[in-house]
Amino acid sequence: MSRITTLALLLTFLFSGSAHGQLEKGSLLLDFRGHSGYDSEIDHVIPRLYAKVGYFPTQALAVGVRVGGYGHLVSGQNFGDAMYAGFARYYFNPNSDNYFFYGELEGGIISNYSEFADTRNLTILKPTVGANFINTGSVAIEAALGISIIENPNTEELRFNNFVMKIGWRSMINESSKEMMKEMREEAEPFFRRGTVSLSSGFNLNSDFVPGRFIDITLADVEFNSEAVSYNNLSDGRSAVLAFNAGVGFFLSEQTMFSLNMGVTNFGGSEFEGATTLFSIEPGLRYYLSLGEQSRSNLYLQGGYEFGGLNLEGLGTEYTYGFLNGGIGINYMLTPGSALELGVDYGQLKTDETSGPSETINLFKFNYGLRVFL
């Protein structure tokens, strides 16, 4: 297939309808990301996991599950939180070509566990409204507004807790994307070209070193989200939380990608303390190796340098860190515009704290999640 024919095929999927709708019975909606840091010197594991999977039993209705959480696992000091929830999403205009509007209701429990106390389970209910833009039948850009209604741990009553805003992306697996994938594999067309843009979310270390900051964040529902951008305005006067964690890649050739991962999490100030900001930035390069002309899988080699830290309002930067790393991984293309990835990085982490000694740690970081290509 010539480049002109390929371009015409892509434009047809981008700007025109197809024999199949974007939303249809049997389609899947998928989001997944996370990482786990491992310090072998003290056998310290820091897992993060965020996943959402939906299935369309009818054209307008999606039902599924959402799980998420974090932990700090080290002998004698284990603690963390986990969420288990189900959801139902109804699309008001399922016959649209690209733009879709929906209402969603989610319910489940948040489990807070600690080695020093009994596990505490809280009920959560979250209604939201949102919009999707789906291009090429595979990548769904999503924005949503809602509220979280969470059980009060003292009275065991449900109460309004916070306003939620989210922006992110999903993989939409439907008949259109399956047909395009089949044709691309039969013609051995490359998945990436010079100028392809890639998006990912959540692969940074900027929240791993201050676990105490997450004591009250469970009720803010930040740690369980896989979205690149989220905002929570807490109703009880504690603070507001703004989180941005995203990676942007630009393909310099069919195999080489320059990437820039950025992370900012701001905990608004309260009457008891000032605002706190976690920040990170990581430039890097990635090189893809196809596992065969008709294969859906690619190996990749990558290297980068992550710099980040913690800033306290009125006190300045409390600490900074640098993580020089390299790694290897594999991705599996779900659709022409999305892939599941699994990789591991190894490097030297150096921290510099104003109130304590500097440290140097040899660290493994396991990355897993969804990456989309535009």
pLDDT per position as a tens digit, 45-81? 667 778 899 999 999 999 999 988 777 666 666 777 7
Q: What CA–CA distance (Å, rounded) separates 271 from 290? A: 55
Query: Would you place residue 329 in the very low, low, confident or very high pLDDT band (cuts 50, 70, 90)?
Result: very high
pLDDT(149) > 90: no
More confident residue, 337 or 21: 337
User: What's the domain range around 221?
Assistant: 3-373
pLDDT score of 75: 61
DSSP conformational letter for 180: H
Poorest-pLDDT segment among 48-52, 92-96, 297-301, 346-350: 48-52
For the record, the structure tokens of 295 come out as: 């294969």
Q: How many CA atoms lie within 13 A of 276 on its CB side?
A: 19
pLDDT score of 79: 73
pLDDT score of 237: 53
Q: What CATH number does residue 149 fall under?
A: 2.40.160.20
pLDDT(18) > 50: no
230 φψ region: left (φ > 0), alpha (ψ -120 to 50), beta (else): beta
In b/e form, how buried is each residue of 251-276, taking b as 16+ CB within 10 angstroms?
Answer: beeebebebebbbbbbbbbeeeeeeb
The rounded mean pLDDT for the chain is 78
pTM comes to: 0.80
The residue-averaged pLDDT of 250-259 equals: 94
Candidates 153, 278, 142, 283; CA nearest to 223 is 278
* Total domains in the fold of the chain: 1
Q: What CA–CA distance (Å, rounded) separates 326 from 312? A: 31
pLDDT score of 81: 79
- What residue spans of 44-143 are helical by DSSP H? none
Candidates 107, 112, 86, 90; CA nearest to 149 is 107
What residue ranges in the chain does DSSP mark as E strands? 28-39, 44-55, 61-72, 79-91, 99-114, 117-135, 139-151, 158-173, 197-200, 229-234, 240-251, 256-267, 276-290, 297-312, 316-335, 338-353, 359-373
Whole-angstrom CA distances from 337 to 3, 129, 136, 141 are 18, 25, 8, 12
For the record, the structure tokens of 313 come out as: 């309002």
- pLDDT one-digit tens code per residue, 191-227: 888 999 998 886 666 655 544 444 444 444 555 666 7
Burial of 143 (0-12, 13-18, 19+ CB in 10 A): middle
pLDDT score of 276: 75
Query: Would you place residue 318 in the very low, low, confident or very high pLDDT band (cuts 50, 70, 90)?
Result: confident
Poorest-pLDDT segment among 63-77, 84-98, 232-246, 351-365: 232-246
Candidates 32, 35, 33; CA nearest to 363 is 35
Angle at 18 between CA 16 and CA 22, to 5 degrees: 95
